[in-house]
Chains A and B, each alone.
Chain A
Amino acid sequence: MTNRERTMNILHYKEADRMPAVHFGYWNELLWEWAEQGKIPREIAERWYDGSEAERELDRMIGWDFNWYRTVGSDNGLRPGFEYKVLEVLPDGTRRVQNGDGLIERIKPGATSIPSEDDYLLKDREAFEMLYKPKMQFSPDRVNLDYYRHFNNTRPTDIPVGLHLGSVLGNIRNMTSVVGMSYLLYDEDEELFADIVDTYAEMQYKCAEAILETGAKFDFAHYWEDICFKNGPLIAPDIFEELCAKHYKKRNDLCKKYGIDIISLDCDGVTDKLLPIWFENGVNTMFPIEIGVWGDQFEPARNKYGKGMLGVGGMDKTALRVDRAAVDREIERMRRLSALGGFIPCPDHRLMPGTKFELVQYYAEKIKEIQ
């Protein structure tokens, strides 16, 4: 069996010879750490990104079968993006920059964390109409149609490949920061935030439609959202449903029309309050199910929604920083979850600094023993 067959069979409750060893990539700092330790060539740390040749090479070194996040898509963000510019350099070396989303960030030299959100351009109707709306329009050149016309003959056949559908709210949150999103939700212009979501979503729908109309075939479709945190969603579920549900449904119905019946969604944090909205509107695969840091879990969702709810993830990646006994405990937990069917273990987020190379190899070897 190929890993593509194994994966599709498991997610359709059919027999598979073994579990595929699936991962979700790495923090760049970890790859540099491994390079310093002599575990991997420096070129891999330099050239790695999701789905890259460097990744396939690293997969072979570790024993992974594939990265779930190996998806393909379109240029479905702001087009053109805002000019990246340094606005200010503070005395401690911190740079205030405007990024491609129009978000003003503080980037501190040496800090390994993501940048800190400082300000944003998308503050009102005028900014939306003048600055953002023109960048949110569909045009055919957002999609590499030639690539997709030949996709079925050129795509890897040994691993599943997903169509990236973009995001309904996460990208907009990236443009505004959580604070800006919150203020826009309660703006005096009550229609403004909905207009932003609708405009952006329509463009992303048309991108997906253009790809699928070429006849390109995909094993699954995938969203990125990251709209939850430790204590649940970053937005009230009823507001999220009102703003976003129709867009998930429209995009997911399109996927189903083209034969894609596995639709996963990447959301960090505790997702249980948004799950019903996603599930009822066609998203059926939880990913990456962050149990280690946030306590998100697959089994309660399976119990609640039944066999229609699938999962990829759920393995506490922090065990890969500890020892074999900790990994063994996770393997046993994954064995129990895998027995539910429709579930593929995967580290519950990108592997972080401090992760031990040999333990990852050990995990990748042992997880394949699950049948």
Chain B
Amino acid sequence: MSILIEISENLQKGKAKIVKELVQKAVDEGIPAETILNEGLLSGMNVIGEKFKNNEVYVPEVLVAARAMNMGAQILKPLLAAEGVQSTGKVCIGTVQGDLHDIGKNLVKMMMEGKGLEVIDLGTDVAPETYVQTAIEQNCQVICCSALLTTTMGVMADVVKAAEAAGVRDKVKIMIGGAPVTQDYCDKIGADVYTSDAASAADAAVRLCNN
């Protein structure tokens, strides 16, 4: 079995230590870091993402796979920088102001990183202006807002307004998601994309970054 397939399969099983060892071994064998990333780590996360979307795996399997990916990615990070490898795109993500729930946001972040996106995590309780300022300063193509509560989802409309007020609405796409959020709500507030699950959010972000 190819070492890259081994990396992918062990990542899918959440075997973080083995993934780390295999990534180091692949590096030592002279395989380019970008190849290890794409055909080993990201390939494994893609499989997990699809299975998650289809309810074949659940949150724990995603979390342990992401942990394994991060352990492998730590080894690759300096090598990727040295090789001049660019990320698929850049996203800033956070849970909206007044809301401290972060499981959904973290899942989306992991899935996006699994697609090769660079993700700036703003954490929870994020003010509308912080999303927009970060997107401007960091050249993010996408702002991603999460909310769990019906009482806090209204802040997503404020993020859209803040982007308009800052004059960047045509430069940055705004994605929204979370338990109470719907496509109707997305349309109502003028956000760009709503997705119902973390894996779909990552797919959508890649599409937005590539456009």
Contact = CB atoms under 8 A, between A and B. Distances in A.
B211 interface: no
A113 B101 CA distance: 7
A230 B179 contact: yes
Interface string B93-107: 000001111111010
Interface in B104-130: 104, 106, 124-125
Contacts of B168: none
B150 A318 contact: yes
Nearest to B180: A293
B98 A116 contact: no
Contacts of B179: 229-230, 293-294
A236 interface: yes
A325 interface: no
B63 A179 contact: yes
Given A106-B100, A113-B98, A231-B197, A183 B63 contact: yes
Interface in A231-271: 231-236, 239
Contact of A112 (B55, B104, B151): B151
B40 interface: no
A123 interface: no
Contacts of A112: 98, 151
B149 A113 contact: yes
Contacts of B178: 230
A171 B17 CA distance: 29
Interface string B40-62: 00000000000000010111110
Nearest to A113: B100
Interface string B13-50: 01000000000000000000000000000000000000
Given A185-B60, A235-B58, A294-B179, A115 B100 contact: yes
A273 B63 contact: no
A354 B99 CA distance: 16
Interface string A104-140: 0010100111111100000000000000000000000
A352 interface: yes
Interface string A330-364: 00000000000000000000001110000000000
Contacts of A273: 55
B67 interface: yes
Interface residues of A, number: 32
B64 interface: yes
Contacts of A354: 151
A94 to B, nearest CB: 9
Given A108-B125, A186-B64, A293-B150, A116 B58 contact: no
Instruction: Name, among A112, A179, A235, the residue most crowded by chain B CB atoms within 10 Å (CB to CB).
Output: A179
A108 B99 CA distance: 10
Interface in A71-119: 106, 108, 111-117
A233 to B, nearest CB: 6
Contacts of B57: 236
Given A113-B98, A231-B197, A178 B150 contact: no
Given A294-B179, A318-B150, A354-B151, A236 B58 contact: yes
Interface in B132-150: 148-150
A233 B197 CA distance: 13
Contact of A178 (B14, B55, B59, B149): B59
6 contacts: A108-B125, A113-B149, A179-B103, A233-B58, A236-B58, A352-B149
Interface of B: 14, 55, 57-61, 63-64, 67, 98-104, 106, 124-125, 148-152, 178-180, 196-197
Given A112-B98, A183-B63, A232-B55, 19 more contacts: A106-B100, A108-B125, A113-B100, A113-B152, A116-B100, A117-B102, A179-B63, A179-B106, A185-B64, A186-B60, A229-B59, A229-B179, A230-B104, A231-B196, A232-B58, A236-B57, A236-B60, A239-B60, A273-B55
